[in-house]
Amino acid sequence: MRTLSGDHVSLVLSATVALHTNLSDTLVFENEAATLDRLRERLRLFAARRLRNWAEAEDVVQEALRRAIEAEEAGKIQNLAALPAFLFQTVVHICQHRSLSAGREAKALKVMAFQPPAPADESADPLESMITEEQRRNVLRAMERLGAGDRELLDLSYADALDAAEIGRRLGLSPGNVRVRRHRALRRLCELMDVTPEPERGLKR
């Protein structure tokens, strides 16, 4: 199956919209490719959370992007600012539909006493397919280079999934202080991983 990139979708959307609007407006869409790629990563995660299956999540995002193009061509999207919400709702609907279908299929197979083949390993955990081994090593290296305090705070937050109040109780800090330190630790981790530490990442200093 051919994959739709952010560039491709953006081009199609921009060209279609240009037919209905002033051509100068197309300048607005110069950054749409980057925006769509960022959006796409989020949509993949959202779909993977619902389906617990990374490969299916990718299919869902592709399907949502196709529907967005069709909707645009049909003149249903007048304002590209509404595109993220449209795509998100589409992803949710497709996931719901797939879950229902999977449920019906499982019921039918059960009636027929048929055991379906086990799913591929790659779909067992969405995280397995979202983070490559290289990224994993990169994160581990960056974590090792972090200060012990930062590392402890990030582990307590994201590995142990403790809230700020609980971490504060353990470390003798106020919840507000925990959150401030967590943001700083996140920023330092991003810098060590060399991933877009520019201001628009929005991490608080």
Partner 1 sequence: MSMVDEDCTLPEQKDLAVRYVAGRLGEPDAAAFETHLLSCESCWTEVRTATEVRAARGLDLFVPGPASRGWPWRDTWTLLAAAAAVAVMAIGLRQLAQRGTALPETAVFRSSAAQRITLSASSAGPGRIRLRWPAVPETETYLLEVFASDGATVLERETSATSLLLEDSMLPPRSAGISLFATVEAKDSMHQTLARSERIKLPEP
**Binding interface with partner 1 (CB under 8 A):** 31-32, 35, 38-39, 41-42, 45-46, 48-49, 52, 80-81, 84-85, 88, 92, 125-127, 130-131, 135-136, 139-140, 143, 154-164, 169-177, 179-180, 186, 189-190, 193, 199-204
CB of 46 to partner 1, least distance (A): 5
* Distances, alpha carbon 123 to alpha carbons 1, 51, 56, 98, 102, in Å: 18, 9, 8, 15, 15
CB of 128 to partner 1, least distance (A): 8
CB of 6 to partner 1, least distance (A): 13
Looking at the Cβ atoms of 71 and 139, the one nearer to partner 1 is 139
CB of 116 to partner 1, least distance (A): 23
- What are the DSSP calls for 47-82, one per residue? HHHHHS-HHHHHHHHHHHHHHHHHHHHTT----GGG
* Distances, alpha carbon 104 to alpha carbons 29, 39, 100, 114, in Å: 42, 31, 6, 14
Looking at the Cβ atoms of 122 and 125, the one nearer to partner 1 is 125
Looking at the Cβ atoms of 85 and 111, the one nearer to partner 1 is 85
Q: How many Å apart are CA 201 and CA 205, to the nearest integer?
A: 11
Under 8 Å between Cβ of 126 and 52: yes
Looking at the Cβ atoms of 74 and 198, the one nearer to partner 1 is 198
Q: How many Å apart are CA 92 and CA 3, to the nearest integer?
A: 20
